[in-house]
Chains A and B, each alone.
Chain A
């Protein structure tokens, strides 16, 4: 956990006071909506179909149990008793009243949570591998650098009005769980040939209307130079990024139009002028941030405790353990993913009671720490293996032990047309229907790892481009239709999926996904060939044939 200092606390509290005044002036009519809109967006407040929506940041996906309880409190007191965890390590409340927003933000500020820069054309919430600090083989905890970037980018005067929003993601593992290749800047901590730690910097990734996989702009940037280098990128983007066309304003378009070599030259030239400026990082600054992260006092525990051996006889426990429990860097401990994808439920939603249950379980079994992943699930990062059976029972009691992590029903979905003012089609009911179709866990296990991502519009909040199966809602003559792509992935081998054919109506989407899955089961070379590998091996044609043979 990171402990906020007085500067952070003052900043957050001052922002609440400022926003309270702005809301008051808006409600009195002193501020027009035109004047107020950019102010509310700077505080994560959108207007959706039915109400205001508040997007709250969970920097690098780390929450304390106290913070989770406060998220539950806000859900219960100011909203309708639940919240929606998003693909960017935020939580959204869908029914909040403008007049009550300052109180909600004040309550959050008491535990160091805020909504600053969760909207607007600025640097958004810095996201990270949600297993940071506990993943085996990690170079180092990437959250130290994420926190540094958070401090650097918060209220940055030069970059508060960029051509468009700007998203960072960071990982320190070979296996990318943070989707760094589909972010404006992706950072991968690694060691160079000399054994020094630094960053591979990727730029120009992104989804939305025009998806691009990020390109490596510099294979190795030492930690000392991280801030100056990203500032050089932001400066080049701020200068040349298009402000005349919102659809071409993201850095990915600039990188694409200039070409990565030319863009890199511009950045290099900018960087060389500032490399040794005040942005050059002093080791002491990094160490100060590092020292504010606290880690559990792990015990020496057996890798296979008796409790686990005994529970292994229970097939329900084993089904959950196989999908939800991952190896921890410390023997005797495990990382537990908590599925927020119950059969028939909206992906990523958690009730206030569930949030409180997770907080209590984190206190009891995970040193009070919780993580939020971009797949819209939660995780307990420090669970002693001996506690897994009792934790499983407690999660199950709260509807939080669906054994489907990474399976076909572990669906990423945006709020879609049920909530979102930008959406063309619904996402959640599609996800719900798919979870019912594949509710049988034996079938889901037989299918194996398969990521279905659903977006209700081209803005791609549901990351459909990088779903193994991607579903994009479009509107055709007033009806909801869905384009289906396959073969996308968001990991270290990130790829944009390929469209398999004409869009299909709402009522046929689940049938199409079933057809695709059946085709995969028939076509895979071996039972352990993953869906994504079968698509890579065979291309989309056999799937296209199967889906459209009878349509």
Chain B
């Protein structure tokens, strides 16, 4: 399989690097401080392919902390609030769109 770093990186707007935490699979975002956060608001924002490639490279290098790192689009509103750029990422951030089964 082709490594994400060997694939052509094309971004059309602000983006972040997201992955799942190795320990428990929780959704995480790469921060500017070269760490991970479960909060999208803490994610490092990239806007150009070179920046994205560099952020992805350092994310993938942390193989112990995270798995499956990739670049995901985000939207930033006028107040600077960051939100996921597509439905998949909305669901990853906010959880399932249904009520989880609970005991009667």
A interface residues, Cβ below 8 angstroms from B: 26-29, 32-33, 47-52, 80-82, 97-99, 345-346, 349-354, 398-399, 417-419, 426, 428-429, 432, 478-480
Contact = CB atoms under 8 A, between A and B. Distances in A.
A50 B96 contact: yes
B40 to A, nearest CB: 14
A98 B65 CA distance: 12
Contact of A52 (B25, B27, B91): B25
B23 A99 contact: yes
A29 B64 contact: yes
Query: Lowest 9 CB-CB distances: which A-B pairs, in order?
Result: A51-B25, A97-B24, A418-B96, A29-B64, A82-B101, A353-B103, A52-B25, A349-B101, A33-B67
Interface string B17-55: 000101111110000000000000000000000000000
Contacts of B95: 50
B8 interface: no
Contacts of B88: 49, 417
A351 B103 CA distance: 6
Contact of A418 (B25, B98, B104): B98
Interface of B: 20, 22-27, 63-64, 67-68, 86-88, 91-92, 95-98, 100-104
B92 A33 contact: no
A418 B97 contact: yes
B63 A33 contact: yes
B24 A346 contact: no
A52 B103 contact: no
A98 B104 CA distance: 29
A81 B24 contact: no
Contacts of B91: 49, 417-418
Contact of B23 (A27, A49, A80, A417): A27
Nearest to A28: B64
A432 B92 contact: no
A47 B20 contact: yes
A428 B97 CA distance: 9
A98 B22 contact: yes
Nearest to A95: B25
Contacts of B92: 49-50
What does DSSP make chain B's interface, helix, strand, loop or mixed?
loop
Chain B CB within 10 A, most for which of A49, A99, A429: A49
B22 A33 contact: yes
Contact of B24 (A80, A98, A354, A428): A98
Contacts of A353: 103-104
Chain A interface helix/strand/loop/mixed: mixed
Contacts of B25: 47-48, 50-52, 97-98
Contacts of B103: 81, 351-354
Given A82-B101, A417-B87, A50 B22 contact: no
A349 B67 CA distance: 28
A473 to B, nearest CB: 11
Contacts of A47: 20, 25, 67-68
Instruction: Give the interface centre of B63, B95, B101, B102 by most chain A CB atoms within 10 Å.
Output: B101
Contacts of B68: 33, 47
A210 B23 CA distance: 36
Nearest to B100: A80
B94 to A, nearest CB: 10
A419 B88 CA distance: 10
Contacts of B98: 346, 418, 428-429, 432
B69 to A, nearest CB: 10
A50 B27 contact: yes
B98 to A, nearest CB: 5
17 contacts: A27-B22, A29-B64, A33-B67, A47-B25, A48-B25, A49-B27, A49-B92, A52-B24, A80-B100, A81-B101, A97-B25, A99-B23, A351-B103, A351-B104, A354-B103, A418-B91, A419-B96
B100 A51 contact: no
B22 A26 contact: yes
Contacts of B101: 81-82, 345-346, 349-351
Nearest to B24: A97
Contacts of B67: 33, 47
Given A27-B23, A50-B25, A353-B103, 18 more contacts: A29-B63, A33-B63, A47-B67, A48-B25, A50-B95, A51-B26, A52-B25, A82-B101, A97-B23, A99-B23, A99-B24, A350-B101, A351-B101, A351-B103, A417-B87, A417-B88, A432-B98, A478-B86
A96 to B, nearest CB: 8
A326 to B, nearest CB: 26
Contact of A98 (B23, B96, B97): B23
A428 B87 CA distance: 15
B103 to A, nearest CB: 4
Contacts of A33: 22, 63, 67-68
Which of B27, B63, B87, B98 has the most chain A CB atoms inside 10 A of its CB?
B98
A49 B27 CA distance: 8
A76 to B, nearest CB: 10
A346 B96 CA distance: 12
Contacts of B96: 50, 418-419, 428
Contacts of B22: 26-27, 33, 98
Given A80-B100, A351-B101, A353-B103, A50 B87 contact: no
B100 A82 contact: yes
Nearest to A350: B101
Nearest to B60: A33
A426 B64 contact: no
